[in-house]
Structure 1
Amino acid sequence: MIGTASISWRAFLAIFVISLQIHVMTGIKPTFVSGMEGTMLDFKCEYSIGQENRMKYFHRDDAESDNYKTMTKEHNTWVRWERFSVYDNTTGAFFIVRVDKLYLNDSGRYRCGVSFQDQPDHISLIHLDVSKVIEVPDSTNNHTGYETKEIGPTQEKTDIIRL
C-alpha cells in the first residue's frame, strides 16, 4: 500500500509540474505587428531593468528558426543580419527589431528574447502579419482601367492599396 501511494504522489507531482510549465509558457501575451509587403518595419521588444548587459535575440518561432535569427551583445548600436537588424537601447530597456523588406512569408510568430545562462530566458512573443500589395483597376480615369501617375519621363500604371 505504501508503494502505491508513493507512485500516485510522484504521478501527481509530475502532472502538477507539467501543468505549471504549460501555464507559464502559454501565459505570455503576444504583441501584434503588421506591415505591407516590400516595406520596412520597426517594432520594439521590451525587457526589465537590470537585463541591459545580457545578449538579446530575435527569431522565428518554428522549426526553421535559425533562418531568421538575429542576436547581439552590442549595446546602443545596430547589428545587422541579412534583412534583419537589432538595436539594443539600454537606456530605455528595450531593443528595436528592423526588417528591411517584408515578404508575405515573413508572416508568423517570432520570439524576442533576453538570454540567461542560469535561468529561463525572458521571452516576448511577436505575431507579424504582412499584407499583400495588389493592383486595383480604376475604371473612372481612363480606358485602361488603371490610374496613370507621371513619375518623370515615363509613366507607371498602378494604384497600390492595402487589404
Structure 2
Amino acid sequence: MRISPVLVWILFPGCWAVTGPGTVHGPLGGLVTVQCQYERGYKDYPKFWCRAGTLLWFQCSSAQIVETTGSETEVKWGRVSIRDNHTLSAFTVTVENLTLADASMYHCGVDRTLLPDPRATVELTVSEAIHTSTSTGRPPATREQPSGAASTPITLSISSNDTHALSQFSNVHFLLLFIWKVPIFLCIIWVNIRYRKNSREMTDRHGPS
C-alpha cells in the first residue's frame, strides 16, 4: 500500500523543507562541496551536517559534525566547514582532504529545538585517483656510448651551396692562372728566342773574315 504524500506531511511536518543534491562525488585527497536549500522561514535557524546513523539512518550517528550558529559566519570543524547564505536560503558544506572512510550517507538539515529537524539525505562517494602513464615505451636517450660497441663512422656531406662555392673558386683560380702564368711563360719564351738571336749575331761578328 502506498502512503499518501499528505499523510507523510502530517506525520513528519517539514520533511521537505530542506533539499539536497542527493549524491556528491569527490576524489581521494581532494575536496567536495555540498549545497542544501531550505525554506525562507528557517533563515535564522542553525544548519547542520552529520553522518547518517548505522541502524537508524534518518538520525545522526553520534554528534553533529558541524553546525552554524544561525548567522552567515563560516564554522569549521576539522576538515569540514559550513557556511549559511540567508539571501540564497542555502548553506554550503565543504569536506577537504577526502579519505575512503568519508564515503557514507550524510544529512544536511535545520536544527529545531523540541521539534523534528528538517533534513535531506546526501550520499558521498570517494574515488581513488587514476594514474596514467605518460611513458612512450622508448628507453631514455643516453649520450654515452656503451663499451664494446662499434664506433659510428663520421660522414661529411657537401651541400649544393658548398659545391657552388668550390666551382667559383676553381673559376677564379683558372682566371688567375691565365692572367699571371701565361704572360710569364710567354716572356720566358721571348727571352729564350732573344738570347739565341743575340748568340748568333755574336758568332757572326767574331767569325773568319
Percent pairwise identity: 31
Tell me, yes or no, if the aligned pair for 2:111 and 2:117 is still in contact at 8 Å. Answer: yes
Match of 1:131 in 2: 127
Q: How does 1:11-160 map to 2 (within 5 A)?
A: 31-63=22-54, 65-66=61-62, 69-140=65-136, 142-143=138-139
**1:85 aligned counterpart, secondary structure:** strand
Q: CA deviation at 1:52?
A: 0.8
Greater Rg, structure 1 or structure 2?
Answer: 2
Structure 1 pair 33–136 and aligned structure 2 pair: CA distance change class (3 A)? same
Given the superposition, is the C-alpha separation of residues 72 and 42 from structure 1 closer, same or farther in structure 2, using an over 3 Å criterion? same
The offset of 1:56, in angstroms, is 0.9
TM-score, normalised to structure 2's length?
0.51
- Say if 2:21 and 2:34, in contact at 8 Å, map to a contact too: no
Structure 2 residues without counterparts, runs of 5 or longer: 55-59, 141-209
* Aligned mates of 1:117, 1:40 — CA distance in 2: 31
Report the alpha carbon displacement of residue 38 of structure 1 after superposing the two structures with TM: 0.9
Q: Number of aligned residue pairs: give it.
A: 124
Mapped partners of 2:64, 2:111: distance in 1: 17
| Runs of 5+ consecutive residues of structure 1 not aligned to the other structure | 1-15, 145-163
**8 Å Cα contact 2:20/2:37 also seen in 1:** no
CA RMSD of aligned residues (A): 3.0
What's the TM-score once normalised by structure 1's chain length?
A: 0.64
Q: Which amino acid aligns with 1:130?
A: V
Aligned to 1:158: none
1:118 positional shift? 3.8
From the two aligned structures, give the one with the greater helix fraction: 2
Corresponding residue SS for 2:108: strand
Structure with higher strand content? 1
